[in-house]
Chain A
Amino acid sequence: MSYPAGLGIILATFLLAPVVGGLLTGLERKVIARLQGRVGPPLTQPFYDLVKLWHKRPQAANRIQIVYVYAHLFFMVTSLLAFLLGQDLLLILFIFSFATVALILGGLSVDSPYSRIGSQREIIQLVTYEPILVLLVIAYYQVTGSFMVSQARSLEQPLLFTLPLVLISFLPVFIIKVRKSPFDLATQLHEPHQELVKGIITEYSGPYLALIELASWYELVFLLALVSLFWATNWVGGLLLAAIFFFAVTVIDNITPRVTYSWMVKFVWKVGLGLAVVNVAWLYLWK
């Protein structure tokens, strides 16, 4: 990759990704409201929320909590940046998990039962989806013969045709990561109905909450980019795939209640992990 192009991607990541992520969040809230027969907030609502939160008086339970919030945002931005620069997929997912771990540590650093139990649930979620991500990387390596993200662009046919089951098993991971029903166990950003109040983010307020919100936008863009990897040969296909995923998740969010974590682990490991393993095994035998 040429030097100016790389610089362009870095700038775009910093400036464009939050705009796209914010608009997508706004779109998602609007779609959910329409599905429920409501008018819903304007498309630019997330930006109002962000600016408002940023200018509220900061309040933190302890200093270390603040460090973890910044770490969360930093790792989230870094993983997106590395992805767009076409770096090592294994490394990227590793950094991505780091972002979640930072949030968990932040939640555990406070002596609030809501935050603590929220963090414990987040750990369970991490354990639940991490094997699928590892299998995704393995499958990716089998098809492309490389861990580099940039390799996917030079394939003859999209990854989707060789890894359809892995893509399906990625759906629950996506739902867990964007904290949507039925797997919104640890916290929800915009729906308040939780036995744990706000779970892991209960103790954050003002600007720190704004940072978590911002990180969630980067996260959304990163996850959608990861989905579009499955059709990386053609940018139209990639966008289409990401859009289908996005709306599927929004609709699923709307038609399911929250499940308990034991059910989630069972379901994701049986169905999600099962599908991914079948796909990987099939690649081994068929090749």
Chain B
Amino acid sequence: MKRRTVIPFGPQHVVFPEPIQFRLILEEERVVDAIPALGYMHRGIEQLATVKDFTKTLYLAERICGICSVMHTLAYAQAIEELMGIEVPPRAKYLRTIWAELGRLQSHLLWMGLAADAIGYESLFMQTWRAREVVLEMIEFTEGSRIMTGSITIGGTKRDLHAESLEFLLHKLEHLEQALNDIYPVFSDDPLIKQRTVGVGLLSKADAIKLGAVGPTARGSGIAEDMRLLGYAAYGELDFQPVVETSCDSYGRMLVRVKECFQSIELIRKAIAKLPPGEVLVKVKGRPEGEVIMRIEQPRGELLYYLKAGGDKSLARWRIRTPTLSNLPPLVHMVKGARLADVPLITLSIDTCIACVER
């Protein structure tokens, strides 16, 4: 038998800003097995929600994850609205869509940077994050803060966009599109990037279905699955098709994300063009009661909330299933048999968000 080495990959590691540990069992430089160890980021959010006031839980939901904070508030607000039978004004729905897409843009750009970093392409990492700052500028201008914005609330949104904000958005979107046009060919055509990504981390369509992959991971394996097609917020009125790649490897997943950036820009433009006038917030009275399941599309895939309330001040149960949790079994499947040098990229290719998984 060959000599086996065990490498602790994480919890503190440079290619990951987040703590997750993979004990990689190696033969030479090939991974035979990967054992994920979770629990470094557990905060007991689901338990806290049963103690806190349900309106305050909104802020807790925002802090599940700093990268997709908008998505979590959106899902939570929609779930509570469905429980309480609140009809959100149409303008608020469009604003939510715009902010959700901005959130998706910054998340995808962040991922593209980290992926470039994982294969040692520092220059590309810097350029992607420079483009990301443009998105953050838009977020800050329209929502008031870079990460924790608190702009979506139960019953609508807390802020409204004025004509000049919309103009600013359109102007900046053009900047961003130019920057992305420069970055896109590098990701899609650079021979060395292809050499590092094509055929690495294979996940066939059958495996993706069997192991329950969601989001860009599933779409990179040829499954046209996108929760936005459910038509929540204003997505039902914006015509779009999910981006699907059929190469089933890290390269395909990477291209899905890069192309979705362009899709998000288009969606924001459509939403701004169709933005209806009117109020953005309705008053919320009473307490939620009953059960609800809410599914939305995070940058990483399908986010599922299950809420149960008994008419009390706080919720009785709040179950969060995040996309990264669904994507962990496919990840372990992909890592087996990979070279050590490819492990960071494969791990990143599902866009791990450990803060979401462990709550």
Interface residues of A (CB under 8 A from B): 35-38, 113-114, 116-117, 120, 181-182, 184-185, 191-197, 254-261, 263
A256 touching B340, Cβ below 8 Å:
no
A260 touching B120, Cβ below 8 Å:
no
| Contact partners of A196 in chain B: CB under 8 A | 340
B118 touching A193, Cβ below 8 Å:
yes
| Contact partners of A120 in chain B: CB under 8 A | 29
Chain B 171-223 interface residues, beta-carbon cutoff 8 Å to A: 190, 192-193, 195-196
With both beta carbons as reference points, the residue of chain B lying nearest to A260 in the complex is identified as B341
A113 touching B6, Cβ below 8 Å:
yes
With both beta carbons as reference points, the residue of chain A lying nearest to B347 in the complex is identified as A195
| Contact partners of A117 in chain B: CB under 8 A | 5, 7, 26, 29, 340
Chain B 1-59 interface residues, beta-carbon cutoff 8 Å to A: 5-9, 13-15, 26, 29
CA A182 – CA B341 in complex, angstroms? 13
Shortest Cβ distance from A111 into chain B, in angstroms? 11
Most chain B CB inside 10 Å of its own CB: which residue of A116, A196, A258: A258
Interface of A is mostly: loop
CA A184 – CA B118 in complex, angstroms? 13
| Contact partners of B295 in chain A: CB under 8 A | none
8 closest Cβ pairs, A-B complex? A258-B120, A257-B121, A36-B126, A257-B119, A254-B123, A113-B7, A192-B14, A260-B341
B122 touching A259, Cβ below 8 Å:
no
A37 touching B192, Cβ below 8 Å:
no
A257 in contact with B126 given A117-B340, A193-B118 (CB within 8 Å): no
B192 touching A257, Cβ below 8 Å:
yes
A195 in contact with B116 given A37-B126, A37-B130 (CB within 8 Å): no
Partner of B121 from the list A35, A181, A263 (CB cut-off 8 Å) is A181
The verdict on B143 contacting chain A, using a C-beta distance below 8 Å, is: no
| Contact partners of B120 in chain A: CB under 8 A | 181-182, 184, 191, 193-194, 257-258
B14 touching A255, Cβ below 8 Å:
no
With both beta carbons as reference points, the residue of chain A lying nearest to B118 in the complex is identified as A193
B29 touching A259, Cβ below 8 Å:
no
| Contact partners of A256 in chain B: CB under 8 A | 121, 192
14 contacting pairs across A/B (C-beta < 8 A):
A36-B126, A36-B127, A37-B127, A37-B130, A113-B6, A184-B120, A193-B14, A193-B122, A194-B15, A195-B340, A195-B341, A257-B119, A257-B120, A263-B195
A35 touching B15, Cβ below 8 Å:
no
A195 touching B5, Cβ below 8 Å:
no
| Contact partners of A255 in chain B: CB under 8 A | 123
With both beta carbons as reference points, the residue of chain B lying nearest to A121 in the complex is identified as B29
| Contact partners of A195 in chain B: CB under 8 A | 9, 15, 118, 340-341, 343-344
Beyond the given pairs A117-B5, A257-B121, 5 more chain A to chain B contacts, judged by CB atoms under 8 angstroms and listed by A's residue number, are A117-B26, A120-B29, A256-B121, A257-B196, A259-B192
